[in-house]
Structure 1
Amino acid sequence: MIQQKVVIISKEQLKNLNKAQQCINNSRNSNRLKAFGSCRTWCLTESLVLRNFQILNFRKVQIKDGLTMLDAIGPYEVLRNISNAEVLFVAEKKGEITADSKFVHLNAKFGIDEINEADILVIPGSAITFLREINNVKVMEWIKKINQTTLWTTSVCSGSIILASTGLLNGLEATSHWKPMELLKKFGAVPKAERFVEQDKYITAAGVSTGIDMALYLCNKIVGEAKTKAIQLFIEYDPKPIYKSGNYSTAEKNVIEEAEFILLEEAKKEPELFEEIKGEI
């Protein structure tokens, strides 16, 4: 486990920019923090503040795009428990976001035109609508703009395909859900079948539930072992599934076939998009 220091600067220290700069230069995150360009945007007050940790969802004007809910809510439940973290749900257009199940909804209070910076960006995936988003120029350009301000840019599940389609993962290892994993190659990323993969400031998590693991790993970087353990206990994350079938590399053939059928049924909930790509799946 990589150990990183968390710099804590008081309000009094912030009055002295030289002292603040010295503190930041002593941090292993110094280059990233300095990239924000001003003391105001270092996000360091009396405690570490994640000013704009963002869960990025997608919504088109014509069609409500279906994200996989746990892709967003898993990391949210971990990272919201960091003291003074401000969590923003952001969509292309603010408003109601419908999950890929078509059963639950999430309210995005901010549109991408309202958000210009973030400390952490989380891009969740979906069963099929990520294939529409990779052609959404406005969203792709926004991700690249926000990435210039982040300490960490992350994804869960097929969110890594969206991230890779911006070109930001070119030449880097990344993971995704097992079904669209090979699509990473199309955008210059190197697929790696791991629970999550860290490359510099980019952290990609595999399918759905892995966002919790990724968020705990990131939490440990920010607040350290003791607080991270407490958050893990708070959400009582101690998984003991009844079957060892959650890894594609060890799953039985009939289990994989049944899982692929479930995915196919989910994809059919977006009939127009499904008709466009059904010959490729």
Structure 2
Amino acid sequence: MPTPLHIGLLLFPNLTQLDLTGPLQVFSALPGAKVHLVWKRIEPVPSDTVLTLQPTISFEDCPQLDVICVPGGSGVNDMVNDDVMLAFLRRQAAGARYVTSVCTGSLVLGAAGLLRGYRAATHWSAIDYLSGFGAIPSRTRVCVDRNRITGGGVTAGIDFGLTLVEILADRPTAEAIQLGIEYNPAPPFNAGSPDTAPAEVLAAVNKRIAGQTARRESMIRAAARLQSAEA
């Protein structure tokens, strides 16, 4: 493992902070890793909660990253058609060892043309959009396909982070980090997946996110742009 190992987590307005802070906590405990929070400019970036995030480096000043990671969130609806973001991802991915995402961040990788022919995971509510970018949808907690590593929805970011640490270092290092953060999940309810949630709960959540689902028409536009560019 090279030292320092440069790991870059992308910021953008209205990201889901746990997509970012879960793996951030894991990567920050990896010996020899230098973690960057990367955005277009050095300015506060609002998340989808009251938490505001501060970039540590701009796109322009970012070194070549060994690992690049895109979190998800409602802001993805804008990022899949953001030329500056997509160009940065393509440029970094060309030299990165691992190109990764958490939750709907995989849709941004897809829009950049970085998942064509790769299996990829995402949030359950967005899984149907992956194929439009040439990816192969994978309904798994963490999906590893060559140097593309993608996590499922939100809390899967910790699983993703630990999986990548094992790949970058070794299992004992990953297990030590897991123990250090006491990652020993025992959810009080078995409603964390559409496959196990009560039908009325699933219906209520689908109703609640209906507006967000409508905004995801941006995915269709992004997929069309990508297909046109690759034609």
Fold similarity call, TM over 0.5: yes
Which of 55, 58, 76 aligns to 1:111? It is: 58
Cα distance in 1 between the residues matched to 2:75 and 2:30: 31
Q: Which has the higher contact order (CA 8 A, sep 6+)?
A: 2
- Quick one: which amino acid aligns to residue 193 of structure 1? R
Is 1:55–1:89's contact at 8 Å kept on the other side of the alignment? yes
Deviations 1:118-170 (A, max 9, x none): 011110000x2211111111110110100011111110000000001111111
- 1:262 to partner: Cα distance: 4.1
Distance 1:237 1:258, change over 3 A: same
Q: Report what 1:219 is aligned to.
A: 165
Is 1:175–1:205's contact at 8 Å kept on the other side of the alignment? yes
Is 1:81–1:231's contact at 8 Å kept on the other side of the alignment? yes
Matched residue SS, 1:155: strand
Q: Report what 1:53 is aligned to.
A: 7
- 1:98 to partner: Cα distance: 0.6
Q: Report what 1:155 is aligned to.
A: 101
User: How many residues are aligned here?
Assistant: 218
Cα distance in 2 between the residues matched to 1:185 and 1:274: 18
1:209 aligns with 2:164: no
1:247 aligns with 2:193: yes
Cα distance in 2 between the residues matched to 1:176 and 1:75: 15
Q: Report what 2:32 is aligned to.
A: 84
- 1:223 to partner: Cα distance: 2.1
- 1:110 to partner: Cα distance: 1.5
Q: Report what 1:120 is aligned to.
A: 67
Percent of aligned positions that are identical: 28
Structure 1, unaligned stretches of length 5 or more?
A: 1-5, 7-42, 59-64
- Quick one: which amino acid aligns to residue 131 of structure 1? N
Q: TM-score, normalised by structure 2?
A: 0.88
Cα distance in 2 between the residues matched to 1:180 and 1:256: 15
Q: Report what 2:18 is aligned to.
A: 70
- 1:49 to partner: Cα distance: 2.9
Distance 1:94 1:250, change over 3 A: same
- 1:258 to partner: Cα distance: 2.2
- 1:249 to partner: Cα distance: 2.1
Larger Rg: 1 or 2? 1
Aligned-pair Cα RMSD in Å: 2.0
Structure 2, unaligned stretches of length 5 or more?
A: 219-231
Cα distance in 2 between the residues matched to 1:141 and 1:194: 28
Matched residue SS, 1:154: strand
Q: Report what 2:179 is aligned to.
A: 233
1:176 aligns with 2:122: yes
Is 1:116–1:145's contact at 8 Å kept on the other side of the alignment? no
Q: Report what 2:227 is aligned to.
A: none
